[in-house]
Amino acid sequence: NKEREKQDLIAKIEDLEMTIQALTQAIDALKAEIAEMQVQLKRAGEDREKENKEFQMTVSDQRETQTLLKKALDFLADFYSKKAALLQKQEPAGPPPPAGFETYKNNAQSGGVMQLIEQIITDAKAMEAEAIRSEEDAQKAYEDFVKESNASVEAKSKDIINKSEEKAKKEGDLIEAKEAKEGVLLELEQLSNFNAELHKSCDFVVKNFELRQTARDEEVEALRQAKAILSGAKFEEFLQA
């Protein structure tokens, strides 16, 4: 049945067009997702570079601070050591102070400053260690992000290839279905024209048959009358006529 075949092809074409549209939208969405991931990767790389520069500056500053403070600490230790030795050599102007008093005083003065410097050095070391740990964590997080993003981009790229191949196949099927539909429509048109010609021919035959039948009836009637005349059945009526 060509009419049924036509309807089936129309339904198939509609289904293929919907599938192709859905595949096109899916491919466009995947491309957009990949583009966004690439933007995020670029931004993450820029942020990581900035963070690393800050880390390098922080570590450099803290190490420089430690070096300077260690030099200051060594200088003060030498200075207070020499000062204490000098005071011990000087003769006391009045009654001698209680044993150990002057030494304690000098130790108290030098100890407070040196302890403060040592504490600053300790804090600088702790800040350096914290900066290193933070840098290591940030670098690992960045590397994990890059790895996961690249894997996702690769998977989406493969999905685009698969969907593109499927889309190409559906587009080929759509072309074939449309060509088949045109063929069926042409056949239906030819059948319609044939039916019209056949109907026209049938009408002619029927009409011609009726005319021929009428003529035949008239011929039969004429022959019948002629036969009656020849047989003398209506000879008198013929003469009167």
Q: What is the pLDDT along the chain (241 residues), one digit of tens a residue?
A: 778 888 898 999 999 999 999 999 999 999 999 999 999 999 999 999 999 999 999 999 999 999 999 999 888 888 877 777 777 666 555 555 555 545 445 555 556 888 899 999 999 999 999 999 999 999 999 999 999 999 999 999 999 999 999 999 999 999 999 999 888 888 877 777 766 776 766 666 667 666 777 777 777 777 777 776 667 655 555 555 5
> How high is the pLDDT of residue 78?
84
CA angle centred on 69, ends 63 and 122, rounded to 5°: 65
> How high is the pLDDT of residue 99?
54
> How high is the pLDDT of residue 145?
97
The DSSP output letter for 95 is S
Using alpha carbons, list the distances in angstroms from residue 128 to 26, 49, 58, 140. 49, 19, 7, 18
> How high is the pLDDT of residue 152?
97
Q: Is 64 exposed, middle or buried (0-12, 13-18, 19+ CB in 10 A)?
A: exposed
> How high is the pLDDT of residue 107?
53
Distance, in Å, from the CA atom of 54 to the CA atom of 60, rounded to the nearest integer, reads 10
Amino acid (1-letter code) at residue 91: E
* pTM given for the model: 0.60
DSSP per-residue string spanning 43-55: HHHHHHHHHHHHH
Distance, in Å, from the CA atom of 217 to the CA atom of 110, rounded to the nearest integer, reads 155
